Amino acid sequence: MTAKVLTVQAVERLKPDPLVRREIPDAGMPSLYLIVHPTGRKGWCVRYRFGGRPRKMMLGPYPALDLPAARDRAREAVRTLSLGRDPGAEKIETARINRARPVDHDLVSSVVEDFLERHVRKHNKPSTAETAAQILHKDVVPVWGRRKVESISRRDVLDLLDGIVNRGAPVMANRALATVRKFFNWCVERAIITASPCTGVKAPSQETTRDRVLTDAELRAVWLGADRVGWPFGPFVKLLILTAQRRDEVAGITKGELHERGTEWHLPAARSKNGSSSIVPLSEPAKAILKALPKIQGDFLLTTTGEGPIRGFSRAKTRLDAEIRAANGGRSLEGWTFHDLRRTGSSGMARLKTDPHVIEAVLNHRSGVIKGVAAVYNRYQYLDEKRAALETWATYVTTICGGGS
């Protein structure tokens, strides 16, 4: 069966086959399947391979587990798999441990899971929910998990944030405060506590907006460095440059997202940071890069396992920086990030006289030139204009980079 991106409406409308049990794959989150029983009952599962053998992990029934929450759990399973662990076996072991010990529903560890299930996954897009879960599971539960929620004080919150800052992650401390504040505000709303310990706590670190745009010489150094790094991160970096899309969006590109004979990349709302779908016309160099990728079983295009998208971006950038440094007589390209390639693409298209509203359409921005009521009624995709802008940008990039592909 050809996988299609499932929508809430499609899941709701799917009718059972009275004779057979059906499993419908979701192109919005490869490895996720909607199970439709002959009785009409529906549920979710993840199919994957571990140790060379096919495995299946049940996630939960629908509608108790809705589509965004199912994708979030499937994404967590794929991430566990990418770390070399069996998510199904870990789920069984966790359930066994939980059954073996009494549950105190006032403990932070218990209330956090309730918060994620009842609030975060229901009211946030999957990427936001995933970030909140990571912060709570990594920084909060290990420290406060066995304490009662009502015992957490403002001093505890400050100590938690100081610990994150001290390990060299000041921006993450700000994110942790935002997540913890929402958690305790929810606890107040649910009458679990009477007041939030985050009241009066200020963000521990000052943040500045990045405005790094690579020069032509720097962009060439990155492009040629990507050539030397090779597959899979070399093609990934080049696609970041040519498409001007976000890191995780490019890394997760699938075969099912390519349309019109590979000339268009249809980014689904479920994978977009702002929750809006987008059509990205693929320039000739971008198409050539995708066509040259190794053929690996599964739907992901940038993958080493076939089970999930590439990971390890920090290590990949370290390798790329080393290649750039080696090719430039030991001189490093300082202070740049993968996200700067998106800003560089935006700035480059502007220099090439692309209209601002077309650049916003390429970037899948929903604020800026077209705002308010105009944004609601302006559903035109600017497809031809985006195609022209990205082809012009690709021609410029390949010209300054010596025609490399």
Residue at 77 is within a domain: no
Mark whether 243 and 349 lie in a shared domain.
yes
pLDDT at position 370 is 45
Residue at 89 is within a domain: no
Mark whether 294 and 388 lie in a shared domain.
yes
pLDDT tens-digit profile of 186-236? 999 999 999 999 999 999 988 766 788 999 999 999 999 999 999 999 999
| Local structure of 330: helix, strand or coil | coil
Domain of residue 353, residue span: 216-400
Residue at 93 is within a domain: no
Mark whether 59 and 114 lie in a shared domain.
no
Domain total for the chain? Answer: 3
According to DSSP, residue 59 is labeled: E
Residue at 56 is within a domain: yes
Mark whether 283 and 386 lie in a shared domain.
yes
pLDDT at position 280 is 96
pLDDT at position 257 is 94
Q: Which of 189, 207, 230 is the last residue of a domain?
A: 189
Mark whether 247 and 345 lie in a shared domain.
yes
Mark whether 243 and 338 lie in a shared domain.
yes
pLDDT at position 104 is 66
Mark whether 236 and 162 lie in a shared domain.
no
pLDDT tens-digit profile of 30-71? 899 999 998 889 999 999 999 889 999 999 888 888 898 899
Residue at 256 is within a domain: yes
Residue at 262 is within a domain: yes
Mark whether 183 and 221 lie in a shared domain.
no
Mark whether 226 and 348 lie in a shared domain.
yes
Can you give the CATH number for the domain in which 154 is found?
Answer: 1.10.150.130
Can you give the CATH number for the domain in which 49 is found?
Answer: 3.30.160.390
Name residues of the chain where pLDDT drops below 50: 368-379, 404-405
Mark whether 288 and 392 lie in a shared domain.
yes
Residue at 76 is within a domain: no
Can you give the CATH number for the domain in which 238 is found?
Answer: 1.10.443.10
